[in-house]
Structure formats: C-alpha cells, structure tokens
Structure 1
Amino acid sequence: MRQQKWPPVRASLRSHAAAGVTSLTLRPLTVVIPPSRRGVLVARRVVATGLAVIGPGLAGSRIVPVDRSASRGPSVRGEWVRGPRARRDDAVILYVHGSAYTICSARTHRGITTRLSQASGLPVFACDYRLAPNHRFPSAADDVRAAYEWLLAEGHDPDRIVIAGDSAGGQLAVDLALQLINEGARPPAALALFSPLFDPTFELAAGRERLRRDPMISAARAQQLLDLYFADEDRAAPRLTLSFDGAGSFPATLVQAGGREMMAADAEALAAALVAAGGRCELEIWPGQMHVFQALSRVVPEAPAAIARAAEFVVTELDAANRRGSFELLEGA
C-alpha cells in the first residue's frame, strides 16, 4: 500500500474556491468591524456563527463542561471533548484555541477538538482562557498554565499529555512548554500546532503579506487585535520572543500552516528556531490553504486530512514516550 504523503503536492479546487470566497466576504468584513470592545463582541458572534456552519463538531461527540473559576487570578475553565468512538484513557490532549487572544472559545473550536479526539482516540481538554480586551497579557498564559497543572493534579503524567493549539493558542502552547523547561519541570510529551503565532510584533506576517495577500484579514488589522492583549508590553522581552536558548529538551513538535496565509512565515520561523536549538520539529506547509484551515471541515477537504495527520503524530509521540518510560524503569530496576 502506498504511504500517504503529507502534505499533498497541490491544493484541491474547493480550497482555491474557499479562499476566493473568503477574500470577497470575510476580509472586507474585518475592515468595517472596529478593533474595539464593541467590535470584538461583534467579531465573536460572527466567528462563532461562521464556524458552527463551516466547521461544526462531530455528531455523537460527548462534551463535559468544566468550570473551576477563581474569584481572582488564573482559572481552569473549558470542556472535556470525546469524539465518537474515542475510547483511549491512557493519555490526554490539552487544546488551546486561537483568534488573537480575543475572539474564540472551546465551543467555537469543536470542529477541531472533536475530530482530533476521534482521530487519536484520546480525550481532549479544550481550555477556555480569559480573553482580551478585558484581560491582558499574561492572563491567557496564566490560565493555560493553570489548566496544565490541573491535569497533573488529576493524575495525568507529563509524558501522557500532548498540547495542541492554533494561532495565538500555538504561541500559548510554546510559552507553556518553555516555562516548564526553564523551571526544570517535565514538559509534555509533544506539541501539535496549527498556524501558530511566533512573532508578537507581527512583522514576519506583515512581510509575508506584502508578497501575497492573505484571504482572511490584513496584517494591520490582525496586529490591532493583538494590541488588545499585549497592550504596552515590550514585545522584545524574553518571554514574548520565545527564546529556545538552552531548551534542547523541548518536546517533539508538529507545525502545520497554510500556503496562502501570512502566518506561514511564523510557522517557518518557529520550526527553524526549534531545530537550531537542537529540538525536533516537523514543518508542513499545506499548499493553497488558509489560516487554521483545519477548522473548515465542511469546506476544505484537506481539513480532516490535516487533523488525521496531527493525530498520527500525537499517537506516535505518545507511544515513543511510553517506550522511553518503560526503558528507564528497566534501567532503574
């Protein structure tokens, strides 16, 4: 049997059509919605409605809400997701959604989380972190850390946890792994990232858009949304530059991005930085695809294929971590 090639050599006709329609509909809409508190509320409704139509969760999935909100400070909120026929309990995926730290939620991303659970067989905990503009840096990062520590307290070993995330959620996932490594704590088994943000100044993405127009949103408007979260923070600060110096023990990482999106530049830079630091990273630029195309399951045929590929990576890395753990036990016996 011929082995599946990831990513495919060329994009489907439906992907090209979807990008064209998006360029004529969503991108002009992002121009007229102001990057203000009121505008964010409108954007949240638009995105939630759109994803419910073009990227709904799988029918038959089981969703269990979790709310351990604190009166102040970091909180654990989100939902357990099990896709149909997902029966494994030996590991867990922590999923961190994206959308500029301002717009989406665990609920909007069920199109990804239910399919990732189904394809991997694993339960997914989709984290709901506090959103800008009401909550600014590092509120989202603190909530993701709280979710990870809660999973540990619930009995999940770091070697049995994979962190996945898209866009801003990808940046939060990398930030968490670096925090753990810098503190001498055990990081998760692996990371699977979809169109991750790497450069919070957005200069990389802006440079890429000057070469090719992004179908979804302009670099300038996306930067304005990021400003709602980072505000006056120094984006050259070590935590925001995501330095991998001394982080050779960074978990194996899969990075997927679309060839038509400006943030493919971030994906490439992240992969290059990880490899330069001695880490292992698999980079996939899927031809013709838009930002977080994995969420567009009803529109883009490559979406479920990409999620299947990510699930394959997750299971492979968990199995490798399990073998390493068994070997270490034998050595210590």
Structure 2
Amino acid sequence: MTTSTSPGPLHLAAATAAQRRVARTLAMEPGGPPTLRARIANQLLRATVKTAWQCAPDSPAGLTRMQRVVGAVARLQAVPPGVSTAPQDLGACTAEWVRAGTPDERRVVLHLHGGAYFFGSPRLYRPFSWRLSAATGRPVLALDYRLAPRHTPADALEDALTAYDFLLGRGYRAQDVVVAGDSAGGHLTLALLLELKSRGTPLPAAAVCLSPWVDLCCEADSHRLNRRTEYLLPAGKLARLGRLYCRGKDGDDPVFAPLRGDLSGLPPLMVMASGSEILRDDARGVAERARAAGVHAVYQEWDGQAHVFPLFAGFVPEGRAAFRHIAEFLRAAEA
C-alpha cells in the first residue's frame, strides 16, 4: 500500500489563498486607506517608541539613555534563513554587509539608517536591509555612522563619504551604486549627493529617500499640522535636536538643509512618505524642488502610515508593498 504525498484539495485551496493574499499585498498602491495591521502598528508605535522618546531628557545623558534602549532592541534583531551578514571596517566607522539569497555582486546599495542622528544601527535595521537586498537583487552595505551626542551630522557625512569612496575603491562603478536612506538617513543621502557633486565625484545611479528629514530646522508646516497624526516622532523633541545640530551654522548650508541646496544634476530620486507624519512637507518639498531643478523625481505619499513604514514590513502590508515600488523605480532608473 502506498501513501500519496501530493497535496489534497484543502491544502491546494489554502496555498492558493495565501498566494492571492501575497499578490494583493505586493500590488498595493499609495492613496488607499491604511490596513488594519497598519493601524495596529501605528498605535503600538505611539504607545512605545514615541512615548519613550517624549519622556527622555533632552540632555546628552538622555540621548545616551535612548541609545541604550534602542541598542537592546537591536540585539534582538535576526535575519531569516538565506540571509547573510558580515562586518566591514571602514576606519573611523564600520558597516555591515547584508545579502539576501545570491544578489548581483556587480551592483550595490549603500544604506544610511535613520534615528535623528543619535540612535540607530545596521543591526537595528536588519529587517529593513535584508528586504532591500531581496527586492533590489543587490548586496546592501549598511553604514554605522558616528552618532550624537559625541558626534555631529557633519561627522556622519564624513562617514558616508568614506563609505562611498570605499565602494568605488572596491571596484564598483558609480552607475552601479544606489544610495538609500530614511529619516535622518534621508537627509544624509541628500547631503552626500550634494557633497559628491561639489567635489566632482561621479554620482550614484539613483537615490531613495524614505520620510527624509531634509530640513533640520523643522520649519515646514507639517511639523505643526501633523503633530496629532504623527505616530512615531515627537515634534518638539525633533525640532530641539535640529536646532542643536544647526547651532552656529549657516541656515542655507546644504549640509544642514539640503532642501535649500542646488539639486540640479542629481541622479533620479525616489521620495516616499506618509501623509500623516510631521516630515510629510519635507518629503514633498524635496521632490518638488528636485523636479524644478530638472531631476527625475518620483514621489509617493501613503495615507495613514507611520514614519518610515517600510521599516515595519514584517507586520505592515504597505511596508512590504513599498519594497516593490522601490525595486520598480530602480529598474526604471537603470533603463
């Protein structure tokens, strides 16, 4: 007597239903109402991350305390089977290689994490980095740049330049490099592009900015209008940090306000944000200014999502769909 190992009708129906759910998730477009999972995630983030940051002192000791809390969360981050990580020493800073499956080693993504320039790390961002590698078919070099309160955004920019020069020295052509950053990392992405342009260094093929904090002075209207609908960032805390970083600096310095820099000549740019977050107008503004400067800029605004919602793609369907949009943008930019 033999036993059949082929799936029965119920198993086939369940598999087909799961495939349809995955297909619907990946097919999501900006403009629709947030899913139930997104709404749940929003409330959890407001009750945990936003509240913890809101209650932390603004002093250097308070920033360090938040770093320790986030560091403890980062130690819990793991990667699924088929994903590899490897450290990379860059001298004054470090980085981490993240590879999902067998990516095309001829191309690479340089990822600059968020965290208001005082927290965050490649390890914290592993759930994001491996999805970015999987979606783009490239290895990701996640930069662990130096953080406040011991360091400044200018130090972070120096580290980003070091990482970019490292990739060119490793044999990557500029047209095979993509730079991606979120929040403060989105600011750092634009500052890096402007600094590379001023130095005459070949620019990367494209850049992706997710919920970028492009004006550290926090002067856009959405910093005021979206305070109640922002699920992750305490507006007052972010503005105070920005003023601290910009103290004594020229308000038009593109390192601190790339929104006011000369964006002409930059590579194709994708900007993604939530319509509910305080950085919405930062994202809108940089996309509009880039287009006015002749840059091919794609802007997506998703309704009712948390700040940098692709970071929560493990739970939020819209986050998973965002990676498809990023991959499609890069394919079009390359073409």
Q: Which TM-score applies when normalising by structure 1?
A: 0.86
Give the conservation status (yes or no) of the 8 Å contact 2:98–2:133: yes
Matches within 5 A, 1:131-150: 131-150=147-166
Q: 2:183 is matched with which residue?
A: 167
Amino acid at match of 2:57: P
Tell me which amino acid in the other structure corresponds to 2:84: R
Deviation at 1:162, TM superposition (A): 0.4
Letter in 2 for 1:64: A
The residue aligned with 2:288 is 272
2-structure distance, mates of 1:228, 1:103? 16
Q: Does 1:61 align with 2:87?
A: no
Taking a change above 3 Å as real, the CA distance of residues 60 and 48 of structure 1, as seen in their structure-2 partners, is: farther
Aligned runs of 1:308-319 on 2, under 5 Å?
308-318=324-334
Contact 2:70/2:120, CA 8 A, preserved across alignment: yes
Question: Which shows bigger deviation, 6-15 or 87-96?
Answer: 6-15
Query: Which of 293, 296, 302 is 1:286 aligned to?
Result: 302
Q: Which amino acid aligns with 1:198?
A: V
Is 2:224 the counterpart of 1:207? yes
Q: Within 5 Å, which residues of 2 pair with 1:1-333? A: 4=27, 6-7=29-30, 9-50=32-73, 57-69=79-91, 75-83=92-100, 85-204=101-220, 205-210=222-227, 212-227=228-243, 229-242=245-258, 243-245=260-262, 247-318=263-334, 320=335
For the Cα contact (< 8 Å) 1:112–1:307, is it kept in 2?
Answer: no
Partner of 1:326: none
Q: How far apart in 2 are the matches of 1:132 and 1:51?
A: 18
Secondary structure of the residue aligned to 2:193 is helix
Measured after TM superposition, the shift of residue 313 of structure 1 is: 1.8
**3-state SS, counterpart of residue 266 of structure 2:** coil
Q: CA deviation at 1:181?
A: 1.9
- Quote the Cα distance in structure 1 between the aligned partners of 2:253 and 2:135: 38
Residue deviations 1:59-88 (CA, integer Å, cap 9, x gap): 43111101132xxxxx351011101x2321
Contact 1:116-1:308 within 8 A present in 2 as well: no
Query: Distance between the aligned counterparts of 1:310 and 1:93, measured in 2?
Result: 12
SS of 1:155 mapped into structure 2: coil
TM-score computed with the length of structure 2 as normaliser:
0.85
1:226, distance to aligned residue in structure 2 (A)? 3.3
- CA change 1:106–1:317 in 2 (3 A) is same
Q: Aligned-residue CA RMSD in angstroms? A: 2.3
SS at match of 1:138: helix
> In 1, distance between residues paired with 2:296 and 2:29?
17
Verify the 8 A CA contact 1:192 1:253 in the aligned structure 2.
yes
| Counterpart residue identity of residue 90, structure 2 | R
Q: Which residue of 1 aligns with 2:10?
A: none
Which residue type is aligned with residue 88 of structure 2? V
* In structure 2, distance between residues paired with 1:133 and 1:214: 25
Q: Secondary structure at the match of 1:202?
A: coil
Larger radius of gyration: 2
How many equivalent pairs are there?
310
- 1:244 Cα shift? 4.4
SS at 2:226's partner residue?
A: helix
**Structure 2 regions of 5+ residues with no counterpart?**
1-22
Corresponding residue for 2:20?
A: none
What is the rounded CA distance, in whole Å, between the counterparts of 2:50 and 2:305 in structure 1?
Answer: 15
Does the CA contact (< 8 Å) of 2:96 and 2:122 recur in 1? yes
State the Cα distance separating 1:276 from its structure 2 match: 1.0
2:31 and 2:301 in contact (8 A); partners too: no
Change in 2 beyond 3 A, CA 1:198/1:65: same
Equivalent position SS for 1:81: strand
Q: 1:4 to 1:261 in 2, by over 3 A?
A: same
- Structure 1 residues 109 and 219, CA gap change in structure 2 (3 angstroms): same
Amino acid across the alignment from 1:235: G
Q: 1:329 aligns to what?
A: none
SS in 2 for 1:200: coil
Task: Indicate the percent of aligned positions where both proteins have the same amino acid.
Answer: 34
Q: Which amino acid aligns with 2:224?
A: G
Verify the 8 A CA contact 2:34 2:303 in the aligned structure 1.
Answer: yes
Query: Structure 1 136/230 Cα, relative in aligned 2: closer, same or farther at 3 Å?
Result: farther
> Structure 1: which amino acid aligns with 2:287?
A
Alpha-carbon offset, residue 14 of structure 1: 1.2
Secondary structure in structure 2 of the residue aligned to 1:313: helix
Q: CA deviation at 1:152?
A: 0.6
